[in-house]
């Protein structure tokens, strides 16, 4: 995987574009290659081996078309190869100069450990070596025929050459261009405070953009789905006094001089406290008949889910849920009803909000079966008592008359017993 990334960056260094290009690999991996290193070139790309074509820099002439994908060079020229499905490779030059400065034949990234080496013709001894960067002699960082650029920094980019004595003569190498790239951006992610992007209405939300791999300088930009406006340009985005219209998907984009990467979107949810709880049916003074079935429904006009509902009857909790079903209404159901809506803001429950509905008064309607039954029973009881009193009064009157007649005509032989008149009652 690292080698593939290096090849892609190497193609970018040479100004090439496209999803897949032909690559010419060098072994040993130095540039420029030198003839006395017995260099092997390998053509990598899309297409059959038999379709591989090789070219040299001599008037762009075709050299081989025998389908070989690799060979050991024997000439000091510039080579390219062609694959029909991925095109022409970048060139690779093989040198045979008296003094050659070599750099690693791969993408050079910030932080890499890199050494340049100054080679003499056919490994001849080189003495009194000095190195130059953009025309300026380097007084340090070199030992013998090697120049250490470790760890690599962006300011190490530029042109290098070496000077030294080879076979008792002063020689100067051709210039080698070193281009240092930032580490490719990867692992861009978001974090939020409060966690998971759930924030109560009016609170503060802080989003942070993090990069797992990549070197600076880095630039950041913040975006939200459905909004073309740039929200911020730093690694952190702070939204104070957040409103309900701030809900949506947020992401950050990070770029350096070589690449751009984006985070996965984070869904921000603004949690709105419950408000305006109501009970239906209306009106708030509601009359029902005995043995009816009544269903009351509680709802809120504003409030983020989940919302819980609690029912109060004369101030006491009696049920839970958005519906309250009253079966076979009787006098015990009369009174006032309220529902209380509740929602909780955030996973840690730092905000709990409640809304009470207006009271609904429930009463039995006049003339309902229960009221009529009570009235009939009371009437019958009163009539029985009146009849009983009348009988007892008549009995006593009769008794009084018998006593009076007895005094005039002889002893009284009877008595008055109310049980004798049960049939009348």
Kindly provide the b/e burial profile for residues 324-353, where b requires at least 16 CB atoms within 10 angstroms of the residue's own CB.
bebeebeeebebbbbbbbbbbbbeeeeeeb
The reply to whether CATH 3.40.50.720 applies to domain 186-271 is no
Q: How is domain 275-364 classified at the architecture level of CATH?
A: Sandwich (2.60)
Per-residue tokens: 343: 């929602």
Write out pLDDT tens, residues 140-192.
777 889 999 989 998 999 999 999 999 989 999 999 999 998 888 889 999 99
Q: Say how far apart CA 317 and CA 308 lie, in whole Å.
A: 13
Residue 215: the pLDDT is 76
Residue 390: the pLDDT is 65
Residue 59: the pLDDT is 53
Residue 98: the pLDDT is 95
Residue 352: the pLDDT is 78
Is the Cα torsion angle 339, 345, 346, 348 positive or negative in sign? negative
Q: Say how far apart CA 383 and CA 389 lie, in whole Å.
A: 10
Residue 145: the pLDDT is 94
Residue 55: the pLDDT is 87
CATH fold label, 2-181? Immunoglobulin-like (2.60.40)
CA distances, 243 to each of 198, 202, 205, 302 (Å): 12, 6, 11, 14
Residue 226: the pLDDT is 86
Given a contact cutoff of 8 angstroms between Cβ atoms, the answer to whether 171 and 155 are in contact is no
CA distances, 17 to each of 8, 46, 85, 260, 335 (Å): 9, 15, 15, 15, 80
**DSSP element (H, E) containing 396:** helix 369-409
Per-residue tokens: 26: 């060098």
Given a contact cutoff of 8 angstroms between Cβ atoms, the answer to whether 139 and 131 are in contact is no
- Residues of the chain with confidence (pLDDT) below 70: 1-19, 58-66, 345-351, 367-425
Given a contact cutoff of 8 angstroms between Cβ atoms, the answer to whether 343 and 350 are in contact is no
Is the Cα torsion angle 23, 27, 31, 34 positive or negative in sign? negative
Residue 377: the pLDDT is 42
- Give me the numbers of helices (H) and strands (E) for the chain, helices first please: 2, 39
């Amino acid at each position: 995987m690292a080698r593939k990334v290096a090849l892609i960056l190497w193609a970018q260094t040479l100004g090439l574009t496209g999803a897949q290009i032909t690559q010419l690999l060098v072994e040993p991996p130095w540039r420029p290659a030198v003839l006395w290193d017995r260099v092997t070139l390998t053509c990598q790309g899309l297409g059959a081996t038999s379709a591989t074509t090789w070219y040299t820099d001599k008037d762009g002439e075709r050299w081989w078309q025998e389908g070989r994908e690799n060979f050991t060079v024997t000439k000091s020229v510039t080579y390219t190869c062609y694959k029909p499905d991925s095109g022409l490779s970048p060139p690779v030059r093989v040198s045979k100069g008296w003094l050659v400065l070599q750099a690693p034949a791969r993408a050079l990234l910030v932080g890499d450990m890199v050494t340049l080496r100054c080679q003499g013709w056919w490994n001849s001894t080189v003495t009194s070596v000095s190195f130059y960067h953009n025309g300026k002699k380097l007084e340090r960082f070199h030992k013998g025929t090697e120049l250490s650029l470790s760890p690599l920094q962006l300011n190490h980019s530029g042109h290098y050459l070496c000077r030294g004595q080879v076979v008792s003569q002063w020689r100067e190498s051709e210039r080698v261009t070193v281009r240092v790239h930032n580490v490719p951006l990867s692992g861009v992610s978001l974090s939020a405070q409060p966690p998971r992007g759930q924030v109560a209405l009016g609170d503060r939300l802080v989003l942070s953009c993090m990069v797992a791999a990549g070197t600076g300088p880095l630039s950041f930009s913040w975006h939200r789905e459905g909004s073309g406006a740039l929200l911020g340009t730093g690694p952190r985005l702070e939204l104070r006094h957040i409103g309900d219209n701030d809900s949506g998907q947020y992401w950050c984009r990070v770029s350096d001089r070589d690449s751009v990467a984006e985070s996965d979107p984070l869904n921000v949810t603004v949690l709105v406290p419950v408000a305006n709880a109501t009970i239906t049916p209306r009106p708030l003074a509601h009359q029902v008949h005995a043995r009816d079935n009544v269903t009351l429904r509680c709802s809120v006009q504003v409030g983020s889910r989940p919302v819980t509902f609690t029912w109060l009857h004369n101030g006491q909790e009696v049920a839970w849920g958005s519906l309250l079903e009253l079966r076979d209404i009787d006098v015990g159901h009369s009174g006032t009803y309220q529902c209380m809506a509740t929602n909780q803001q955030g996973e840690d429950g730092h905000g709990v909000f409640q809304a009470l509905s207006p009271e609904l008064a429930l009463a039995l309607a006049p003339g309902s079966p229960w009221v009529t039954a009570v009235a009939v029973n009371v009437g019958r009881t009163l009539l029985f008592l009146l009849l009983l009193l009348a009988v007892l009064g008549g009995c006593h009157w009769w008794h009084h008359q018998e006593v009076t007649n007895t005094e005039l005509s002889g002893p009284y032989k009877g008595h008055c017993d109310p049980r004798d008149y049960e049939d009348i009652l």
